[in-house]
Amino acid sequence: MASDERPEAYVQRLAKELEDEILALGPETVIGFVAETVVGATSGVLPPEPGYFKAVRKVCDKYDILLILDEVMCGTGRTGTFFAFEQEDIVPDIVTLAKGLAAGYQPLGAVMLSDNIYDTLANGSGYFQHGHTFLAHPIACAAANATLDALSTGILDEVKNKGKYLSATLLTRFRHHMYVGDIRGRGLFWGIELVQDTKTKTPFPPSTQLHKKIKQSAMDRGLMCYPMAGTIDGKEGHHILLAPPYIISLNEIDLLVQRLAEALDSALMDVIGQTILHRDTVEDKKAL
């Protein structure tokens, strides 16, 4: 989004880009539009602009194109609602789930279909070839059932409340950091974007391997986080992804942020070769 562009205009521009591409390809050749509701590892927890998916849904409906949402990482309660798309006030035609679906106890993935697609298959051949070696694995499915039972006890309200606390704690600790360009997320799903310059958002060179240094520095302090490179275009840009367990306590959130801050500053000091100052510290020094 351009610095002088309003979010509403940005959303409409993106919707027009999608529609223009569909028309360029020919609507009859396009079966679906696929997106992560909240982009996970590749972009570091990037929520959509308000109204974006409503605009996309409208374009897809106009040309009879399926809206397919990937919620492997952001679904199953991670953002505070069972489906992340609930917060967008839309319903996709197909949604994929995995990871949190069995709470990490068993590997399991699922594809959910709208009634329209299901009925089309059922009223047509009635047959859908999708068998795999471990299809409907009983232990994995039992883990998923137990997870769904746990999620029905009100834990998602805790995800929302703890997410607000995590958000506030991250902002308090990192909003004045000289090398933090953005803090974003929903529920217990947060990303921290790292930059050389917070005004220009210039990324660190890929050669710094900053994400690997942060990962090791965090592990040395007993913290597991998810640093990644290639935030911007697959090569440039670094971020840290946080996805703590839903049962994390407020004290553990404090400890998480404290250890993350220590790990980040240690890794940055290794990269730039000097002590890390936060913007509020710099401003205080100027005032003196």
- The pLDDT tens digits of the residues spanning 32-74 come to 999 999 999 999 999 999 999 999 999 999 999 999 999 999 9
Last residue of a domain, one of 152, 174, 206: 152
Rounded distance, CA 71 to CA 85, Å?
9
With respect to residue 167, please indicate whether it lies within any of the assigned structural domains.
yes
pLDDT digits (tens, 9 = 90+) for 63-122: 999 999 999 999 999 999 999 999 999 999 999 999 999 999 999 999 999 999 999 999
Domain residue limits at 35: 7-152
With respect to residue 2, please indicate whether it lies within any of the assigned structural domains.
no
With respect to residue 1, please indicate whether it lies within any of the assigned structural domains.
no
What is the count of structural domains for the chain?
A: 2
| pLDDT, position 129 | 79
In this prediction, residues 160-173 reach a mean pLDDT of 98
> What pLDDT band is residue 2 in, cutting at 50, 70 and 90?
low
With respect to residue 178, please indicate whether it lies within any of the assigned structural domains.
yes
**Judgement on whether residues 218 and 169 belong to the same structural domain of the protein:** yes
| pLDDT, position 287 | 37
Judged against a pLDDT cut of 50, whether residue 282 lies above it is answered with no
Strand partners, 68: 34, 94
**Judgement on whether residues 141 and 223 belong to the same structural domain of the protein:** no
Judged against a pLDDT cut of 80, whether residue 277 lies above it is answered with no
**Judgement on whether residues 143 and 170 belong to the same structural domain of the protein:** no
- Cα–Cα separations (whole angstroms), residue 282 to 193, 246, 275, 277, 287: 20, 36, 12, 7, 9
| pLDDT, position 288 | 32
pLDDT digits (tens, 9 = 90+) for 129-147: 778 888 889 999 999 999 9
Last residue of a domain, one of 104, 122, 152: 152
With respect to residue 103, please indicate whether it lies within any of the assigned structural domains.
yes
The closest of 182, 184, 186, 252 to 223, measured between CA atoms, is: 252
**Judgement on whether residues 58 and 195 belong to the same structural domain of the protein:** no
Last residue of a domain, one of 120, 152, 184: 152
Strand partners, 94: 68, 113
**Judgement on whether residues 112 and 222 belong to the same structural domain of the protein:** no
In this prediction, residues 144-157 reach a mean pLDDT of 96
